[in-house]
Amino acid sequence: MAAFWVCLCAFLNCAGWFLSALHALNRTGYLCAFAVGIALAFTFRRQLHLDKLCRFNLQKQRRRFSRFLPAGFAIVAGLAILGGILHPPSNYDALAYRVPRILHWLAAEQWEWVYTNFQRLNTRAAGYEWVAAPMMLFTHSDRLLFLIGVASQLLLPGLVFSTFTRLGVSRVVAWHWMWVLPTGYSFLLQAGGIGNDIYGAVFALASVDFALRARTSGRFRDVALSFLAVALLSGAKTSNLPLMLPWGLAVLPALKVLLKRPVLTVILAVATVFSSLLPICWANQKYSGDWTGAKAEEPRMTSGDPRVTIPGNMLIATVQNFAPPIFPFSSQWNEFVPHILPESFHRKMRDTFEAAGANLSLAELQNEEYCGLGFGVSLLLVVSVVAAWKQKRTPPKVSTGSVVNLIRWSPYFSFLVYAAKSGVGAVARIITPYYLLMIPLLLVGPGHVTVCHRKWWRIGAGLVYVLAALLLIVTPSRPLWPANTILGSLAARHPENQKLARVQTVFSVYAERSDAMSQLRDVLPAGEKVLGLITVDDLETSLWRPFGSRRFLHVKPQDTAEEITARGINYVVVNSEVVAGLGAGSFELWLGHVRGEVVQKVALRYRAARGPFDWYVVRLEVEPIQKP
């Protein structure tokens, strides 16, 4: 299944770029691509072992999931999937730029560098988007995109076991942890949503796993799958690039296999390039003058003093990973912690990191934007390592060779490379693909075999499941209880309770986030199929619903009325704060600049931490130029 998923995602990435080159990013183009893909899969079904996909032993699966650890994983994963089925997607980043960039590409029937002030639409890796694009194209919806996270979540246990055992972890220990580690909060919360960190975590494991398989099998197939997996890893997020180090160490001895198949190697090279970050790097270099795209975005996010960024990232990741799933004392924490940090270090943290990270801020409930492995898995892992180290009598440690030992250490060097450059506040979530490659080093000790058989360890694993299930039930993004009904009733009975009002606001904002701009969309001119949009980091996806009914072209505040109308735009939808923030002065000054008339004003709230934004629908009235 892992091999099939790697091949499918690589095919969809290549198809997206090639169809864009042909200006055929539409239903007809995808149908032709799918026909070619199915024909190739059928022709090479034996080489790809696709016949094994049809083998399913129900009795074996029933026996497997009747055991405690697999059953616990199945229940928790089932809750995550149920949340995705019941609730529309609410991941802010996805709704602000990942889904909108797909909509821009599909409207243009090709990939394009979007004309915009919001450069995340252009500079970010596109691997997840190419997998999601055909689903949106054929369904005119984003409701099924959570299935990408579901597929990733269900692949993790098998990949954890396979990779861990090849890195020297005992089969017994690997079997126990393969069911517990994928219940980390960043995995579970993204399994029912449209976050793309879990998507990269699968390829981080698969790239090393197939590379280690190739070392022993000598098969071209394993080398090829390893290359495609690491390409998809880089194509998921730029922050994953340092994880090419453990893959490189693992695949190096198997590279000689490529020399025996020169034709297939060339084909593999092409597929690897178009499955990776390289096309976006080329676009970033061409349009922004920097292959990373950092020049087009906030420099603080990708630069800083390593003497601050490395300890800062380590500190933030530790705090975020050990934060309780439900933390009612978060406000007291957020007030207290900044005062106990050394003033000089805290000042440098504020200059380097986003505010939430610099102040080590925590929320009342863990959410997918900031969580990592989470409190349960992190605590059990630490206790297990300490208990294994204290074992008096243990069987001798099995030697796996210096290269494998180097591979086990290499993800920590990868993290240091990432930490040296990044100032992103959501560290614990961003490094989600790193965790499962960093953990084998902690589990190779022989004492872990004894620890995993202890009664207290099984009780601890059960508590991990309970905490994960509790978080999935109460999470604001996809609650599995009638949150708004109950909280609304309680808030009406106790209007003086500020904490209750805060909780109700959080849940109501999340509940409406998927279609947060419906009020604004409802007042748009009915006959206009192309509208202008001035926005930065807003929930643009909502304006496009139903997908395919209209198109939005981004407008910059300095554009003249003639330049805007020349693009076929008669109405512009405007976030007044964005206009002021981009140096155009007040909204009134911009309105005079374009000689526009306000048709509608709508106040929208889609961030729980602040009040509503004022949005305007503006009609442009351009007088014809008088000829002399």
Residue of 380, 389, 394, 390 whose CA lies nearest to 457? 380
- pLDDT for res 302: 54
- pLDDT for res 228: 97
- pLDDT for res 299: 52
Average pLDDT over residues 462-467: 96
| 417 pLDDT more than 80 | yes
Backbone angles phi, psi at 431, to 5 degrees: -90, 20
Backbone angles phi, psi at 405, to 5 degrees: -65, -40
Which residue intervals of 237-329 are DSSP H helices? Answer: 244-251, 256-259, 262-275, 278-288, 306-321
Q: What tokens does 275 get?
A: 């499955």
Domains and CATH numbers, the chain: 2-55+88-295 (no CATH), 306-473 (no CATH), 482-513 (no CATH), 518-620 (3.40.190.10)
Average pLDDT over residues 124-134: 96
Pick the range with the lowest mean pLDDT from 13-22, 264-273, 392-401, 446-455. 392-401
Q: Classify residue 326 by its DSSP letter.
A: B
542 Cα distance to chain centroid:
20
- pLDDT for res 623: 57
Mean confidence (pLDDT) of the chain: 90
Helix (H, G, I), strand (E, B) or coil at 571: strand
Angle, CA of 549, 146 and 196, to the nearest 5° = 100
**pLDDT tens-digit profile of 46-87?**
777 766 666 666 777 778 778 899 999 999 999 999 999 999
429-441 burial code (b ≥16 CB/10 A, e <16): bbbbbbbbbbbbb
171 Cα distance to chain centroid:
30
- pLDDT for res 624: 46
Q: Are 116 and 554 in contact (CB under 8 A)?
A: yes
| pLDDT band per the 50, 70, 90 thresholds, residue 519 | very high
Identify the bridge partners of residue 613 per DSSP, sorted by sequence position.
Answer: 604
First to last CA, the chain: 72
| 622 pLDDT more than 70 | no
Task: Give the residue with greater pLDDT, 499 vs 270.
Answer: 270
Q: Classify residue 627 by its DSSP letter.
A: P
In angstroms, the CA 442 to CA 82 distance is 33
Helix (H, G, I), strand (E, B) or coil at 539: coil
Residue of 71, 234, 216, 241 whose CA lies nearest to 157? 71
- pLDDT for res 523: 93
In angstroms, the CA 186 to CA 165 distance is 23
Which of 337-351, 392-406, 462-476 has maximum average pLDDT? 462-476
- pLDDT for res 504: 86
**pLDDT tens-digit profile of 201-255?**
999 999 999 999 999 888 999 999 999 999 999 999 999 999 999 999 999 988 9
Q: What tokens does 488 get?
A: 């609304």
Distances (CA, A) of 611 to 502, 505, 603: 12, 11, 9
Average pLDDT over residues 515-543: 93
- pLDDT for res 625: 43
**Greatest CA separation found in the chain?**
99
In angstroms, the CA 358 to CA 334 distance is 11
Q: Are 61 and 479 in contact (CB under 8 A)?
A: no
Pick the range with the lowest mean pLDDT from 47-51, 95-99, 103-107, 420-424. 47-51
Average pLDDT over residues 454-480: 95
- pLDDT for res 615: 94
In angstroms, the CA 91 to CA 148 distance is 14
- pLDDT for res 499: 81
Helix (H, G, I), strand (E, B) or coil at 179: helix
In angstroms, the CA 318 to CA 209 distance is 27
Give the burial class of 298: count Cβ atoms within 10 A of its Cβ; 0-12 exposed, 13-18 middle, 19 or more buried.
exposed
67 Cα distance to chain centroid:
31
- pLDDT for res 400: 60
Please give the sequence-ordered ranges of beta strands (E in DSSP) within 504-591, or none if there are none. 530-534, 551-554, 571-575
The DSSP code sequence of 368-394 is TTT--S-HHHHHHHHHHHHHHHT-SS-
| 347 pLDDT more than 80 | yes
**Total number of residues shown for the chain:** 628
Average pLDDT over residues 607-623: 83
pTM of this structure: 0.92
Q: What tokens does 249 get?
A: 């160490």
Residue of 103, 130, 133, 20 whose CA lies nearest to 554? 103
In angstroms, the CA 241 to CA 233 distance is 8
| 596 pLDDT more than 80 | yes
